[in-house]
Amino acid sequence: MATILNYLQQHGPSRSSDIVTWLTHDQKISAEAARKRISQLQEPLFKFPVHLLPKGESFIYHVDHRKTERFWVQFLDAMRTSRSAFGSTIDAILHVVA
């Protein structure tokens, strides 16, 4: 069975809801079991320490992704697609700076 680590190696850092969807649809496990796997992450997988996504959602990443451009691009994309107020604020700042 594929793991969250496999998912992150293929898709990069991701919203927890995307991982839960993958686990329930592609891996055929229950939503409750998928959420439990997310809650029990162990190194080298981490949750972003500050909740900037709505509805208590987490941003999950592999330690090797943390200091990469891909991490930040996907994190900002996660904030945009989840309609996070933080994403809108960062976009406004980036627009002014550019």
Range of the domain at 47: 4-97
* Number of domains the chain is built from: 1
pTM: 0.86
* Alpha carbon of residue 69 to chain centroid: 15
SS3 string, 45-73, reads EEECCCCCCHHHCCEEEEHHHCCCHHHHH
pLDDT tens-digit readout, 37-46: 999 999 999 9
- Please say whether the beta carbons of 80 and 54 come within 8 A: no
pLDDT, tens digit, 9 for 90 and up, residues 50-65: 889 998 899 999 999 9
d(CA 63, CA 73): 16
In whole angstroms, give the CA distance from residue 84 to residue 53: 6
